[in-house]
Amino acid sequence: MVAYRKVSKERAALKLSLAGTVFVSILGISYGFYVGSNAILLDGMFSLLSMGMTGLSLYTAYLVSKPDDAQFQFGYAHLEPLINVVNGIMILVTCVFAFITGILTIMDGGHNIILKDALIYAVLSTISCFSIYVIEKHIASSVDSELVRVDSQEWLIDGILSAAILIGFISVMICDWLGYSKWNAYIDPILVTTLALFASILPIKVLRRNLKEVLLVAPQDGAQLHVDQVIEALSKEYGFDDYTHHFAKIGRQYDLEINILVKDDYKWPTKRQDYIRQQLWDRLSDELGETWLSVSFTAQERWL
């Protein structure tokens, strides 16, 4: 029941995000072309890209809730970090393209925009983005969802971009008022390059975290330390001759394989082996949550 509520809230959050991205992307792209602002166009493109990735994340949230089957015999948990990696790469490529475009526009002397209409967009977009961010952040914390957490961070970045655009356009008005209108043509491309640099921080962080999971890098955190301590304590308590273990985090699921060397067959009947498995599960499940646990016993060191 708890797992069902988590998936239900995830889907609700991502559906809200999808609806929000449709609105903001259409608003941004149409306004960007209308007022001649590359900064607004970038904001709209960022939202359009998020719309596609949110739809993919929504489908992923459905898949990871399914049990393993004949085709995906280890479940669907590995799709979550994979989707986040694709998401991060797409956003990073967009940021690099926008940065190059902004630099080229500055070198060409900039361009003017329709200021009043641009301000209307900036206000609407800023309010929309921060509102959805707050809602998703709350849901992500309540259900501990990495998918919703990553999506909420995108809304935060998009909200900051929109707020920065709003501040930039206000600065254009101030420049006009102070008699420095000749610099107004550079405001939009400067905003584009600055926002592209700032927005690239999020995909870099997402890639750094999720690539480790895709590459099955052992988590260097409290979970790893807890696993080490539990296995070592059981080894001393029940007299394992030796043991090895392999640990990785894939999306919301941990994968843990433990190989235990027991040379005396008579001391290790099947019931005792199952008892050790139960002990491992009892001591680890609270810390690890969803875990694919495999415990093997062998009398030969070659299988460690």
CA distances from 105 to 29, 37, 99, 190 (A): 18, 11, 10, 9
Which residue in this structure is represented by tokens 């001591």? Answer: 283
Which residue in this structure is represented by tokens 């043509």? Answer: 185
pLDDT at 116: 77
pLDDT at 278: 92
**How far apart, in whole angstroms, are the C-alpha atoms of residue 261 and residue 241?**
5
Question: Three-class SS of residue 236?
Answer: helix
pLDDT at 1: 45
pLDDT at 274: 92
Among 3.90.1200.10, 1.20.1510.10, 3.90.226.10, 1.10.3720.10, name the CATH number for the domain at 2-214. Answer: 1.20.1510.10
Tens-level pLDDT at each residue, the chain (304 residues) = 445 566 677 778 878 888 888 888 888 888 888 888 887 887 787 777 766 666 676 677 666 666 666 676 666 667 778 888 887 888 888 888 888 888 888 888 777 777 778 888 889 889 988 999 999 888 888 877 777 887 787 788 778 878 888 888 888 788 777 777 777 778 878 888 887 888 788 788 888 888 887 777 777 677 788 888 999 999 998 889 999 998 888 777 788 899 999 988 788 999 999 999 999 988 888 877 777 888 999 888 888 7
Residue 106: closest CA among 174, 41, 187: 187
Burial of 175 (0-12, 13-18, 19+ CB in 10 A): middle
Identity at 187, one-letter amino acid code: I
Give the pairing type, strands 242-250 and 253-261.
antiparallel
pLDDT at 130: 92
pLDDT at 260: 92
How many residues are recorded in the chain? 304
Handedness of CA 149, 155, 161, 164 (dihedral sign): negative
How many other C-beta atoms can be found within 10 angstroms of the C-beta atom of residue 158?
Answer: 29
The set of residues, in sequence order, having a beta carbon less than 8 Å from that of 163 and lying 6+ positions away, is 122, 126, 130
DSSP annotation of 261 reads E
The set of residues, in sequence order, having a beta carbon less than 8 Å from that of 153 and lying 6+ positions away, is 202, 206
What end-to-end distance do the CA atoms of the chain give, in Å?
Answer: 38
> Looking at the domain that runs over 222-303, which CATH code has it been given?
3.30.70.1350
The pTM score is 0.67
Is residue 259 within 8 A of residue 298, CB to CB? The reply is yes
Domain ranges within the chain, ordered by starting residue: 2-214, 222-303
Dihedral, CA of residue 204, residue 205, residue 208 and residue 210, to nearest 10:
-110
The set of residues, in sequence order, having a beta carbon less than 8 Å from that of 218 and lying 6+ positions away, is 224, 246, 247, 248
DSSP annotation of 141 reads H
Q: Quote the distance between the C-alpha of residue 136 and its chain's center.
A: 13
Is residue 183 within 8 A of residue 175, CB to CB? The reply is yes
How many other C-beta atoms can be found within 10 angstroms of the C-beta atom of residue 105?
Answer: 19
**How far apart, in whole angstroms, are the C-alpha atoms of residue 248 and residue 207?**
17
The set of residues, in sequence order, having a beta carbon less than 8 Å from that of 157 and lying 6+ positions away, is 46, 198, 199, 201, 202
